[in-house]
Amino acid sequence: DTAVSQTPKYLVTQMGNDKSIKCEQNLGHDTMYWYKQDSKKFLKIMFSYNNKELIINETVPNRFSPKSPDKAHLNLHINSLELGDSAVYFCASSPIGQGILDGYTFGSGTRLTVV
Amino acid sequence: KQEVTQIPAALSVPEGENLVLNCSFTDSAIYNLQWFRQDPGKGLTSLLLIQSSQREQTSGRLNASLDKSSGRSTLYIAASQPGDSATYLCAGPNQAGTALIFGKGTTLSVSS
C-alpha cells in the first residue's frame, strides 16, 4: 500500500525519558512534515523537511529534534519528555514543497502520553 | 500570516439534511485549499483539494468551493448520513508555501 506510515501508534512514557517516533512514506514525495495535535484538537506545523533539508522549525523546543536520513524518512526524537508534550503527532508528506498538485498525505498519528 | 477559521465549531443534524461547513482564510494569494476528515482517534483523510484556478470540486455527495476574492471556502454535504459524523478540517498553505495551516475544525454529528 502506498502511504505514510508512523510507528508506534501509541506511546506511554514517564517524564524525563527520551523517545523517538518514526515516519516513512513510499509515495515518492519530496517533502515531509511533523504536525502536533493538542488536546483541543488543533493541528500545528512543527517541522518541514525537503529532500533531507530542514525548511521549517516552528518555535518548537530544542528538546525536539527531527532527523531525515533520506527523503522517504523523517523521524522525530524527543528528549527529556514533559507532561505538556502529551499530544497526537502526525507525519505528512507532499509531492513538492508546496503541495500544489496532489496536496498532502497524512499518517495515522502517534498518540504520546507522558505520565 | 495565513490564518484559517472554521465555523461552526460543532453541528448536529438529523440524517438526510444538506449542510454547509464554512472556512475562511486571511491570505487570498493561496494556490490551493484542502478539506480533510478526521474520525475520533484516527488520522486525517483527504476529501477534496481545490486549486486556485478552480472554483469547486466534487466527490460523491461532497462539493467544495473556493472564492479567493472573499477568502472563503465551503464544504457542502448532501443528504447527510450517520457515517458522515466526524471532524472536518480545512487547510491552506502558509505564505511561504512550505506548510499547511489548519482551521480548528467543525465537528459534525448526524443522527439517525
- Per-residue pLDDT reduced to its tens digit, B20-68: 999 999 987 887 899 999 998 888 999 999 988 888 999 999 999 999 8
Q: Which residues of A touch B34 (CB under 8 A)?
A: 99, 103-104
Whether the per-residue pLDDT at A100 is higher than 60: the answer is no
> How far is A31 from B41, CA to CA, in rounded Å?
25
In this prediction, residue A1 carries a pLDDT of 67
Write down the residue that cell numbers 524518512 correspond to: A73
In this prediction, residue A103 carries a pLDDT of 78
> Cell triple for residue A5?
506510515
Q: Is A64 exposed, middle or buried (0-12, 13-18, 19+ CB in 10 A)?
A: middle
Q: Which residue in B has a C-alpha nearest to residue A3's C-alpha?
A: B45
How confident is residue A59, by pLDDT bands cut at 50, 70 and 90? confident
pLDDT tens digit string along A37-56? 998 889 999 999 888 888 87
Find the CB nearest A100 among B32, B38, B43: B32
> Cell triple for residue A109?
498519528
Compute φ and ψ for B96, nearest 5 degrees: -80, -10
Find the CB nearest B34 among A98, A104, A107: A104
Cis peptide before A95, with omega less than 30 degrees from 0? no
Contact between A106 and B94 using a beta-carbon 8 Å cutoff: no
